[in-house]
Structure formats: C-alpha cells, structure tokens
Structure 1
C-alpha cells in the first residue's frame, strides 16, 4: 500500500470510530448541539478526504450521509430509531468501502440502494419512499430555485467571499519563480496555509493532486518533491496558470487539508477585488463558514490544525515572501505517524541487543575481565529497551472506542435497554496485548448484554431500573493492567452451574459438591460449557469463554469471574503492561534449567521447613499455609520437563545454589555460593530450595533442586506443538545460545 493510501485509510478508520461514537451521543441526546456538530464535522471530513484521494464512490455516498445529517441539524428531520439505524448502516457501508481501499485500492461495494434510502429519508422522512429519479443525490436537486438550501446559511454560486471568509487583503505578491516563467497568463499567486498537521507530506500531496486536476499548470515553492516530504513550514506558495483568483481560492479552500488560502494576480502588487480567503472554523462560528463550490458540494473548512486556537485572517501574518518572523512562534510538531512494522522491527533489534549484551557479559566473566564500558552499555541498552517498549504502548481507547457501537447494536437486537460506560480508556498497554485482547473483550461484552442483563420487564419485576448497566474499566496496577467488565444483571448461580456441569458431563457429582462458589464460577471457562437456555446469534454455543482464558494465559495474564446472584457479574482480566523482555531467576530441576519471572517471586529459602499435612506438603509463612509444588513431579506430569530438556540440555554446572536468599531484586545478579550442592532426591529432609510465589499471583511454594542465577532475558511465546503446554509461558534464548523454558507459575 502506498504511503498516501495508507495515510488516508488510517485517518478514515479513526474518523469512522469517531463518527460511530458521535452518533451514539446524538442518539442518547438528540438535543445535544455539540454532538450534532461533531457528527457533521467528522462526516464532512471523511467525504472531503475521499474526494481529494479520488474515491468518488465513497465521496458521493458520504455526500448523501452528510445531506441527511444536515437535514437533522436544521431541524427538518427528527432523530428517530429508524433514522439512527439508517445512519449507522451508512457508517458500516463506508467502513466496508475503506476496508476495500485498504486491501486493493479499489471500491467494489455498490451503495446505490442505501444511498437512495438515505435520500428518501432526507427528502420525505421515510425510508425508501421516493424513486431513484427524484432522489438522485446531485446538488441541483438538493437546492431550490433561489440558490439557497433551507435555512443552513449555505450559499450557492457566490464564491468564497459570500461565505463570510473573504475580503480584500494587503497580501504582498512575491516575484515569479524562474520555473513559473512559462506559465500561461494570467498567473494567480496562492498563499496556501496547511497549518499544524501530523501528516504534512500527505496533506501537501493531496493539495498538489487537486492543483493537477483542476488547473492547466502550476508551480510551487518549495518544489513538489520537498512538499511531499513535508519540508515546509505550515504553508507554501503556488503559482497557477490562466486562472481566476476566486476560482483558485474556492477550489483550494474546499480541501479539508487547507486551513486558509489567499490569492492575487501576479503583477498587481496586491490582491484585487476578486481575491479570496478560506479560513478554518473559529469559536464564534461553531458551524463554520461555508461556501458553495461550483458543482454544488458544500464546502466547510476543516479544524484539524489549530495550534493555538486562533484562525488565520487576511493580512495578519504580514508578507509571506521573505518573512519568517512568525515561524519562531509556531508550535513544533509533537508527534509523528510510524508504521507498526517499523516499531516491531526496532523492538526486534532491541531484543537482539539484549541477548548480545548477556552473551558479552558472560564471556567477560569467564575471562575474569571487568569492564566499565560494559556497565555503560548496560545502562544505554536498558534505556533503549525502556524507550522501545514505551513506543509499543497504546491507549486502551484504541480498542474500547469501538465497543459503544457494539453494545448498542446487540442491545437493540435483544430489545434491551443498556447504559454502557467506559473508564480508564487512557490506560496504556503493549500493542500486541491490546490486539490479542480485543476479541475476548468483545465476547465478554456480548455475554454481559445477552446473559447478564435481564429484559426490561424482568428487571422491573425484580425492583430494578429497566435500563441495565454495563461498565468496562481499565486500571494500571504496577506492571499490570486490570480490565473489568461489570454488569448489574441477574448474576451467576453457583448451584445452577454445578448442576449444569453434571448434566453436561463436564464434572462428576462428587467433584462439583466439593467445589467452592469461586471454583464453580470457573466452570464457565470449560470448553463446551454454556448457561444459555437457547442458541442465539449473539451467544449460547458454548464456545468462547475457554478461548478467553487461553488468550489471557498466553499473554502471561489471567481471568477470573466474580458474581452475586441477582446483583450482577464481574469478569476481571489481569494482564502485563508489556511483554517479551523480563527478568527471571533460573532454577535447576533434575539437571535442567528453568526460568521463573522475578515479578512472581516473594522469597527464596532452603527447603528446611516443609511439613506434611493430610498427605500434602506445605510450608508456613507467618499465618498462611503455602502448598508445596515439586517441580520435578509437576513438570514431568505436564510434559514440560521433556520440552525444557530438549531446549536447554543439562545445566548441572550452571552455578551454585543460593542459600537463604529473600526478596530477590532487579539488581541481584550474583548467586550466593555457600550452600553446597543440592540434592535431587525430592525428600522432605531439607534438600533443595523453595521459591515462594507472591500471594496475589498464586499462594504456592515451588520446590527445585537449586537456585542458580538471575538475568534479564527475551521471552518468546511457544509455537507449534508446544503451544499451550501447561506450566510454560515461553522460552528464553541466553547469550551462550542455550534455550531455557520460562515457567508459568499460574498454570503449573
């Protein structure tokens, strides 16, 4: 995909999300003038960008959407459920067209039938009530004989001056560049202001494309190549051949990328009476100054670039040629668009740097060489690593912004009333985690609306508000993010879940009777288990919740369900903020080396105080009992020992065991070597070491033969046959080339 098309698609996708949410706000409060202005502005920008890129099908269809929205804005049409459904269907059609542009660059969707229905709703107030001939959608039909459209203040045929944005200027016209000497007279000078933008090169390219299409010849200063590279300061000069100043101003002012344009005939010294200027919206005119283009399309200046909230008025910047006095006061560009593949490539290079740094440190240690330069490299690599990881962080809103529309559509399909809230949409997570979590969150939200929230009649009978509430909340908790989906519906009945599990053969009667309520709630994650009484288009097939848990665990996270019968249900995800590079402690299990994430470890100690209670081994810490998991047995049962052995081989001489170590920290890299060799007989006579896991992660103590070392490593997820192996979260490649399995302490 070329850069211009990619930029258009990215901006269009953002605009579609904004349009969905603006329409939801309008549907919730039809009297909200600000919501109406947002809807109209976003729709207009989408249409204008499509026209500038040459996607006429999208632009024409967007014009029909815009005209219907304008009828609503002028009070000619009421906001009804039928009208909103039609508008949402229109947005979905635009989204489909943009997806086709992203895939192939061409639009194959035929929106003519929906466009006819939009026109019928605009003109007659009913869907599909008019013939194709009477609702053709061209602008001559949309205007009356007087050249005015309704009471919207949109004037036809008057040029930019009639829009209230024009006037004579004292614009100084620069000398004609050498490259413009061959342009046919009269030559019109245009001072084009783009303003502050995140896509300077793309915006300039779209203006150049419009100049190529509308006029016979032109020259720009800077040259087109420099403009397309973004090498200009918020604006540039254009010299157009054999044109009228008002026509140039009108044509360029119609582009959403152009904040302002002033024109004059070269040789006159200043703008004549035909000079015109198109400016951005300002606070005193929220609907924006508009002018009617020659083909009848309504022109409204876009507000995408407002560095300080002030509009550019004629003559306020002084002479454009040879003057840069205002440039020092302009805000610098604060952000850039970077392709995600480039970010991933950078991150991959950082991972290689981390591995090489580990290898170098090991080689120097083996040679008994101390190096201050290596310590400095450690600091620089760590800083680069943190920066690269931060670059991958994106706000939760990148995913959550599409959920209000989802909940709205499902609730309408089910005839339920839902108030949906989102909290913490500015919380940032790794792009990979957020991408993988989108589908699980969609499934949980569907369940909340379908299974969780009762019908309005059922809620009223139970003494509840007929409108159910669903809340999506994200919150940062140290190096994790907690995401919750909370509903105030009927909740889960633990006894009913137990009976369902027995009926479907998921668990035996004895097993479910021994379950606590929390354990019974976890039954919803069992493959094939569903509480739905009937299968619907929304849910009930017994697929999904097991995938939800698998996805969370694959991301080194977890998911749990809490419920209060009659009051509601909470599905809580606990996910790491970032992935890949973590600090681990290496342990020896039967001659094989494994890694345990440091963030999960509370304490490391000798296995001196292991007790046996009712046949189970435990260790006491303060007033709590921690079950002991012998890694040699558990990993053998799960098949992880074989996986680890094949990856790393024997590590019997990797290091001496650590004695009496507590609270491992990030800067502890050298093990204590006074404990002697560890036994591997697995007895309870004090042999081996215990790694006590943090209570909030899992209240257990892991028994190993020896604790070896700590290192920062690059963790790769398991692929192929090893994917989903219980007890393993991934593998780490060490500096000497060894591959070590990293344990998942939650699923052991």
Structure 2
C-alpha cells in the first residue's frame, strides 16, 4: 500500500471513530451545538479527503451524508432515533468502503441505495415521501422560495470582489514574478488534515490546470512535502481576484481564500532607482531573477515546527522487536560463554546497558493507548441497547492507559463479548428497573488502570447481578459439577462457573449472547496473555468482570530453579521472597509455611510437575517424562518425584500474595536472567502451570511456569 493511500486510510479510520462518537453525543443531547459542529466537521473532512484521493463513490456518499447533517444543523430535520439509525448506517457504509480501499485500493460496495435514502430524508423528511397535494404544495413553496432567492441574488448590489478583499497586506512578491502582469495575490488556508502534503499538491495541481503561471511561498516542493503551517501565499499571473477566489474555494481541501490585485509586475526600468541610487532588487538584497525569500521575512526553516511523530507500519515495529529478542538471546549466550572462561570484561556490562535500553525503547514503541480499542465501544453498547429496547449510559475511564499492541489486539473480542453480556444479561429492561426502584436507564462502565507492570481492566454494570445459588443449580443441571462440589464452593468460586465451557445463565438464546460460548474463550485468552480474569457480583446491584493483564509481553526477567535436575523459570514479578525450606510445617496433613502470621500452602514442584502431562516435564536437559504412571528419574537415578526429599531440604519461593498465596518448593535456586518467552503452540497451548518457553544462550529450552494455574 502506497504512503498516500495508507495515510488516507489511517485518517479515515480515525474519522469514522470520531464520527461515531460525535453522533453518540448528538443523540444524547440534540441541542449540543458543539457535538453537531464536530459531526459536520468530521463528515466534511472525510468527504474532502476521499475526493482528493479520487474515490468518487466515497466522496459522493459522504456528500449525501454531509447534506443531511447540514439539514439537521439548520433545524430542517429533527434528531429522532430513526434518523440516528440512518446516520449510523451511513457511517458503517463509509467504514466498509474504507476497509475495501485498505485491502484492494478500490471500492466494490455500491452505496447508491443508502445514498438515495439519505437524500430522501434530507429533502422530504422520510424515505418514502407522500405524493399528496400537501407534498405538491410544499414543492411549489420551495420553488417560490428558490425563485425569490434567485431574484435577491440578481438584485444584490455587487461587492468589491473585482479587486478582491479590501485591506489585505500583500507580502513582497518573489523576485521570479518579474514579468507577471495583472497578478493576483491569494492567501490560501487549508483545512485540518493528516495529509498536508497531499492536500497542498492537489491545490497546486488545480492552480496549474486553471491558471497556468503562478508562484507560491513556500515553494511547490516544500508544500508537496507538507512543510507549511496551515496556509501559504500564491501569486497568479494574468488573473482576476474573483475568478481565483471562486476556483480555490471550490476545492474541498481549501478552508478560506483571500485575494487582491498585486498590480503590474512588468520589467522595471533600470533608471528607476531608489533614493540612495540602488534598484529594488538591491534594496531587497537579491539579484534580479533570484527566487528567494527576502531577508526581511523570517526563514521558513527557522519558523517551521519540528515534526513530533511519524507513522510506522506495525510490521516494521514487529520486525524491530524480533531483532531485539534475538539480541537478548545472543547477549545471554555471550555472557554464559565468557563466564565459562572466568572472564567478564567491562565491555559486556556496557553491552548489557545498551541492549536493555534498546529493549525498553522497542517495547515502548509497541505500546498503544487503550483508546485504540475502546473508542469503538460506545457505538457497540448503543447498538446492542437499541436492539434490546434498553436504555444504557456508557462511560470509559483510563482510555489513555497504554498496553502492548498484541495484548490489545487479542483482548478486543473478549471485551466486546463481556460488554454485550453486560447490556444483554446485566442491565434489566426499563420497566423492570423502575419496579425495583432503580433509574430506568442502566449504567455500564469500562475502566483501565495501570498497576506497576500490569493493567487492570474492569467492565461493571448496575444490573440484576448474579445469584451464586442459581449458578450452583445451573452447574448441577448442566452436568458441569456435582451437587457436593458446588455446595462446597464459596460465592466467588460459584461466580467463576460462568467461565466453564458451555455454561450459560441466559433464559433464552438471543442474537446478542447467551449461546453458552464465549466466556470460556474470554478466560483462555486472558491466561494465554499471562493474565487473569475474575467475576464479582451482588444480586440486584450489578456485576463486575475484572481483567488483570501484563503491560508488555515476550521479554521477562525470570529466576531459574532446579527441580529434580531440570531447570524451570519463575517470573521475578511474581516472587515475593526466596528462603531455605527449613520452616515448613504440617497443619491438618498439609504442608505450610508461615509469613507475617499468614499461612502459605507449600506446592512441591517435583510432585506437581511429575504429575502433569508428560510434555510438561519434558523440557530441559536430563528430564525424562513419566509416561507409564511411574515417576521420572534424573540422570543420577534419583527420584524426580520428590518423595525422597526431606522437609528441611531445598528452597522455598514464596509468591506475592496478590498473585497467589502459595510457596513453591524446589531443589535449588540457580540464577536470574531476562529471557524471550515464546507462548506454547499446538497441543501444549493452554497447559496448566506453563506460560511459555525460553531459549537460553546455549540452546537449552526452559519451561516458564505460570504460578497462577500451577
């Protein structure tokens, strides 16, 4: 995709999002003039950009959309739910056409039917206008009004456009204008755009086609590169100010034009000297014919604002990130090889610092604001609520919080599902809410908050909430759990039943949700991203779905531990303390360790990993999978199952309380290092206790443990 098309698509996508949100604001308050202005401005920009790029179908359709909005702004059409539905349908059509342009560079959608409906509502107030006498009378009145307007136009006193706008300060024309006669000066201001170079190029092309000889300041090359501050000067030869004004105002890229005559710029008489004997050229410090900015004017280079950001294709960012991953692995390999020789030069420490700095920069480049995903959610909630005849207000907080692009991409669909559930299952119909003493309009809130190296995203509603007992009964009826198990569950554990595959609390299947699929995928997605999801609810008060996700992925700092001769990695961010295993106690038959008057259950990794799937224990050198029901043995023949390990031997890795209140027992703690963690694919994907694998510098593959699901 060429750069101009990519820029158009990027701006159009932003415009579609802005238009959706502006229409939502207008629907909420039809008297909001600012919202109306925003809607009209965005629609006008979309139409203009499409015309500039030659996408006539999009431009024509955008024109119909803009005309209808103009009728609304002028008070000729009332903001009704039906009108808003039509406008939203129009925005969806624009979005579809932009998507086709991104994929193929062409528009295959035929929007003519919807365009006709937009025109019908703009002209008649309805898609199917009446054909009775009233309509004819309205048409006659409109014709009379048009005739009267024409008469007024004809009798209107001529203005001073023949000489352009009065009072314009004409800057000193470029020296190259020597020979121009009847030149017109135009002060041209372009509208807001993300493609200043493209817009300026189209204006220059129109000047050349319509007027032929002209000059600009800055020069044409600078304008085509977008190196100007919103406006520029144009000097057109042998032209009339009114014609230049009309020609430029017809361009959608142009916001305002001010013109005036410059006068005769024929070759000056050499005898025409300044009082001091110098010529005009001498006074300006330039040679005749030199096309330069006069010294009396500020230099464009010094006045030009520095470009603060650039657009970079995501594939390039991913490629850079992949190279950084390789650099991290190579750095680990180099350090291990040098440690083997007993030398550690200072240069290696410098390399560590440079690699870490590059890694941080590359990871920051992948961070994008939550708004990149959440901006489309207000429209989603609005459409779902309207389909279900519910009244719902929707608020977003923390949309400036940044997360890794991969995480946001993967989390979009789960968040969409949870939001749909909140409106469909959570929020009650208006009559039911009023009966319960609630505001007939429900409330859904989406919040994102940064907590150290994690982001917490919550979807909360003030709807009917979940009843733990009903969830227990549903679980038994659907065969998810037996009665004895669900009766032993706390309410929090009962809420987690909604994540079981096939489990649903919907009384009837709708097109929105309730088919028993989705929430299990929501949890799986969160776990695959090394995150978690939980549900909290209060019957009659509402429900909150809480996601806890890492800010970034892939490169993490881990502590390597020895379990029966095999290395495993534990993320440093999950570790609270490391100590010798000499304080382990047995309480009611279970091993625990005390910390600040709290008891932490002890998980012996040798037992837990040996009991897992064969592949789980098969990482690293010297590991033999136990596939026959027996225990795996180390290279020295000792039992890897941990049965022979005394209670006071080995090390304890206590996990942070907020992550999971447990202590992991291992045979020893080796070292810690930053590693590139690759997610598990294929049959190993979703294996409990594993978050991925890391390739060390010597080629060994080490399993990185997921302490939450272990």
* TM-score interval (norm. to shorter): 0.7 to 0.9
The residue aligned with 1:584 is 558
The residue aligned with 1:683 is 645
Distance in 1 separating the partners of 2:118 and 2:4: 30
Match 2:352 to one of 357, 375, 378: 378
Distance in 2 separating the partners of 1:141 and 1:7: 43
Contact 1:588/1:651 (8 A) holds in 2: no
| Cα offset, 1:376, TM superposition | 2.1
Contact 1:233/1:327 (8 A) holds in 2: no
Matches within 5 A, 1:353-392: 353-392=327-366
Q: Structure 1 length normalisation: TM-score? A: 0.80
Match 1:707 to one of 669, 673, 677: 669
Matches within 5 A, 1:86-165: 86-129=86-129, 144-145=146-147
Distance in 1 separating the partners of 2:394 and 2:16: 19
Counterpart check, 1:497 vs 2:471: yes
Q: Which structure: greater helix fraction?
A: 2
Report the structure number with the largest CA radius of gyration: 2
> The residue matched to 1:724 in structure 2 has which SS?
coil
Contact 2:293/2:299 (8 A) holds in 1: no
The residue aligned with 2:271 is none
- Which one is further off, 527-536 or 98-107? 98-107
Counterpart check, 1:338 vs 2:340: no
Matches within 5 A, 1:114-513: 114-129=114-129, 144-145=146-147, 168-176=168-176, 199-208=195-204, 210=206, 227-230=223-226, 245-255=241-251, 257-258=253-254, 268-269=264-265, 323-325=297-299, 328-329=302-303, 331-513=305-487
- Which one is further off, 682-691 or 577-586? 682-691
Match 1:621 to one of 587, 595, 606: 595
Structure 2 unaligned residues grouped into runs of 5+: 137-141, 267-291, 625-639
| Cα offset, 1:692, TM superposition | 0.8
Q: Deviations over 1:317-362 (max 9, x none)?
A: xx96563357645543322222222222222222222222222222
| Cα offset, 1:129, TM superposition | 2.1
The residue aligned with 1:535 is 509
**Are residues 369 and 268 of structure 1, via their aligned partners in 2, closer, same or farther at CA, if it must alter by over 3 Å?**
farther
Contact 1:189/1:240 (8 A) holds in 2: yes
| Cα offset, 1:447, TM superposition | 0.3
Contact 2:97/2:109 (8 A) holds in 1: yes
**Are residues 596 and 366 of structure 1, via their aligned partners in 2, closer, same or farther at CA, if it must alter by over 3 Å?**
same
Q: Deviations over 1:466-511 (max 9, x none)?
A: 1111111111111111110000111000000011011111111111
- Which one is further off, 559-568 or 121-130? 121-130
Distance in 1 separating the partners of 2:168 and 2:205: 28
Distance in 1 separating the partners of 2:160 and 2:561: 75
The residue aligned with 2:691 is 729
**Are residues 141 and 368 of structure 1, via their aligned partners in 2, closer, same or farther at CA, if it must alter by over 3 Å?**
farther
**Are residues 414 and 209 of structure 1, via their aligned partners in 2, closer, same or farther at CA, if it must alter by over 3 Å?**
farther
Distance in 1 separating the partners of 2:523 and 2:537: 17
Distance in 1 separating the partners of 2:189 and 2:293: 11
Distance in 2 separating the partners of 1:224 and 1:713: 51
Q: Deviations over 1:149-172 (max 9, x none)?
A: 99xx9xx9x99969x988644233
Matches within 5 A, 1:550-589: 550-589=524-563
Q: Structure 2 length normalisation: TM-score? A: 0.84
| Cα offset, 1:607, TM superposition | 1.7
> The residue matched to 1:10 in structure 2 has which SS?
helix
Distance in 2 separating the partners of 1:242 and 1:733: 73
- Which one is further off, 338-347 or 72-81? 338-347
Distance in 1 separating the partners of 2:432 and 2:491: 25
The residue aligned with 1:596 is 570
> The residue matched to 2:146 in structure 1 has which SS?
coil
Q: Deviations over 1:699-738 (max 9, x none)?
A: 1111112111000112122222222121111122222222
**Are residues 217 and 173 of structure 1, via their aligned partners in 2, closer, same or farther at CA, if it must alter by over 3 Å?**
closer
Distance in 2 separating the partners of 1:198 and 1:378: 39
RMSD: 3.5
Distance in 2 separating the partners of 1:745 and 1:576: 14
The residue aligned with 1:85 is 85
Q: Deviations over 1:110-133 (max 9, x none)?
A: 1122112112211221223279xx
Distance in 2 separating the partners of 1:528 and 1:142: 67
Distance in 2 separating the partners of 1:427 and 1:526: 30
Counterpart check, 1:44 vs 2:18: no
Distance in 2 separating the partners of 1:740 and 1:108: 50
Match 1:515 to one of 489, 499, 502: 489
**Are residues 13 and 160 of structure 1, via their aligned partners in 2, closer, same or farther at CA, if it must alter by over 3 Å?**
farther
Aligned length: 657
Distance in 1 separating the partners of 2:385 and 2:459: 16
| Cα offset, 1:679, TM superposition | 11
Contact 1:423/1:472 (8 A) holds in 2: yes
**Are residues 715 and 457 of structure 1, via their aligned partners in 2, closer, same or farther at CA, if it must alter by over 3 Å?**
same
The residue aligned with 1:66 is 66
Distance in 2 separating the partners of 1:126 and 1:193: 38
**Are residues 29 and 487 of structure 1, via their aligned partners in 2, closer, same or farther at CA, if it must alter by over 3 Å?**
same
Structure 1 unaligned residues grouped into runs of 5+: 135-139, 271-318, 653-677
